Amino acid sequence: MLFCWPCRHRMTTETPVTTEAIGQPPVPTPSRAEAFGFWLKLGFISFGGPAGQIAVMHEELVERRRWISENRFLHALNYCMVLPGPEAQQLATYIGWLMHRTWGGLVAGGLFVLPSLFILVALSWVYMAYGHVPVIAGLFYGIKPAVTALVVHAAWRVGSRALKNAWLWAIAAGAFVAIFALALPFPLIVLIAGVIGSVGGRVAPDKFKAGGGHGAARQSHGPALIDDHTPTPAHARFTWTRFRAVLLVFVAVWGAALSTLTALYGWSGVLTQMGWFFTKAALLTFGGAYAVLPYVYQGAVDHYQWLSATQMIDGLALGETTPGPLIMVVAFVGFVGGWTKAIFGADALWLGGAVAAGVVTLFTFLPSFLFIFLGGPFIESTHGNLKFTAPLTGITAAVVGVIVNLAVFFAYHVLWPQGLGGHFEWLSALIGLGAAAALFRFKLGVISVVAGAGLAGLLVQLGRSLLWAAG
């Protein structure tokens, strides 16, 4: 995705622009209780990945409630799109913080995650305890190729908006080769893409200008509580004092959590290593969940062996079908790792999995709050300065190549589960093609596609059972 930074004029007064002058009543400031109720509701209905979640927030906050204007919404979104971590959750945190200070940010961001955490812990338990039951196995057989189609669709969706010229296509292709053929770490790819974008912004500024895909910014949905020309509230203005205070609090909270795990379980303990690994994942990976997953796979599957490649794909399937950010798949990773490693003994597998899921979630999302509380005031003071946006445009192009690599990875494990020397799962291929047609041709939603694929998987499982019984 490309990034446009809608310009807004700073005002010296603290009095917000009223709406009576243009014939509409002023938008009332929502109470904390009203805001809490909305963010809680959002946590339970935020299906469809980041695109669907952002669309829901846009409809509710910009069009219906008019809590924030189109331009200010996109201004916040553009910042969140280039941060490590889940952009939809960070956008909710940003808007909550802008309206109700730190309390609002913590509530908005926390409630975006907590419902999906509880749901995934329950589903992960069902998966680990009953995953080999024919019904469950059939569901996952159908869902996994659908997930592959979803990843391909995500690459197309991002690429169609981000790759506007040959320069950006070249960056995307180079990123794919770098991670697929050269196995370069994703943070290094991001760094290189950012440098190319920075240099390209000076050599060919017209090729790295932000702005594509945001034509909707010109639309008006009426006056808003936080409008285009509404002055930045005092708590959202950048000061070095506030910057240092936020950074100190974050380091203290993070350090206390990791130190506690180290004291209880040692540095090499499973929970401690999970905290450390997912801190790195949260800080060093960019581009949303689909870009983070290759890094998580390298660590969780290859290095630490908390779960298998097949379990990783199954976890993504669960993440696609539950509310909340897709990166909540890390809760599944944590649960399976805590269960398989029996961190609290063989008699407390569920407890070990649940605690591990909570630890992983904490360390994954804690930096997201830091980025908003730390960087939000700076972003509120910026305009469309090319020296800031050009590196981000390059990074976005690289993310497209990384997502394509992820699609190849999933397709390989779904279609050749025993490796290239094994049999080809042609039924999985047919389900995947059907899911792709539903997404690209018929524009069906994620839930409909996944549900249909799961039903197809059940039918395949039933057919195989009947053939086995007959034989």
pLDDT digits (tens, 9 = 90+) for 91-110: 999 999 999 999 999 999 99
What pLDDT does residue 129 have?
A: 87
* Encoded tokens for 370: 């830091």
- Give the Cβ contact number of residue 256 at 10 Å: 10
Nearest to residue 200, comparing CAs of 227, 159, 171? 171
What backbone phi and psi angles, to 5 degrees, belong to 89? -65, -40
Task: Find which of 291-300, 309-318, 353-362, 402-411 is predicted with most confidence, using mean pLDDT.
Answer: 353-362
**Could you tell me what percentage of the chain is helix, strand and coil, using 3-state DSSP and rounding each to the nearest 5?**
75, 0, 25
Top-confidence residue, 10 or 346: 346
Top-confidence residue, 11 or 43: 43
As a whole number of angstroms, the distance between CA 98 and CA 167 comes to: 36
* Encoded tokens for 271: 């929970």
pLDDT at position 266 over 60: yes
As a whole number of angstroms, the distance between CA 150 and CA 156 comes to: 10
What pLDDT does residue 384 have?
A: 52
What pLDDT does residue 446 have?
A: 74
Mean pLDDT of 322-351: 91
Radius of gyration of the chain (CA): 23
Tell me which residue range forms the domain holding 360: 116-207+235-470
Nearest to residue 81, comparing CAs of 160, 195, 158, 192? 158
Looking up tokens 């790819």, which residue turns up?
189
Residue 4 domain flag: no
Dihedral over Cα of 227, 230, 234, 238: its sign: positive
What pLDDT does residue 15 have?
A: 36
As a whole number of angstroms, the distance between CA 431 and CA 462 comes to: 15
Mean pLDDT of 279-294: 74
Mean pLDDT of 28-51: 82
Residue 317 domain flag: yes
Residue 270 domain flag: yes
Which of 65-79, 162-176, 355-369, 432-446 has the weakest average pLDDT?
Answer: 65-79
Top-confidence residue, 232 or 239: 239
Give the amino acid at 428: S
Residue 86 domain flag: no
pLDDT in tens, 388-410: 668 878 887 887 888 888 788 87
What pLDDT does residue 87 have?
A: 82
Q: Which residues contact 2 (CB under 8 A, 6 or more apart)?
A: 161, 162, 164, 210, 211, 212, 213, 214, 393, 396
Mean pLDDT of 313-336: 84
> Could you give the percent of the chain with pLDDT greater than 70?
86
Mean pLDDT of 312-336: 84
As a whole number of angstroms, the distance between CA 247 and CA 218 comes to: 36
**How many domains is the chain partitioned into structurally?**
1
What pLDDT does residue 390 have?
A: 80
pLDDT at position 243 over 90: yes
Residue 39 domain flag: no
**C-alpha angle with apex 208: 203 to 210, nearest 5 degrees?**
145
* 3-state class (DSSP) for residue 431: helix
As a whole number of angstroms, the distance between CA 424 and CA 331 comes to: 31
206: pLDDT confidence band, cut at 50, 70 and 90?
Answer: confident
Residue 27 domain flag: no
Residue 391 domain flag: yes
* Encoded tokens for 185: 């770490």
Q: In degrees to the nearest 10, what's the CA dihedral of 279, 54, 176, 423?
A: 90
What backbone phi and psi angles, to 5 degrees, belong to 201? -65, -25
What pLDDT does residue 323 have?
A: 76
Mean pLDDT of 228-239: 86
What pLDDT does residue 318 have?
A: 80
Supply the pTM of this predicted model.
Answer: 0.71
pLDDT at position 6 over 90: no
What backbone phi and psi angles, to 5 degrees, belong to 68? -150, 145
Q: To 10 degrees, what angle do helices 289-297 and 186-203 make?
A: 140
CB 30 within 8 A of CB 99: yes
Residue 31 domain flag: no
250: enclosing H helix or E strand: helix 240-265
Top-confidence residue, 449 or 344: 344
DSSP 18: P
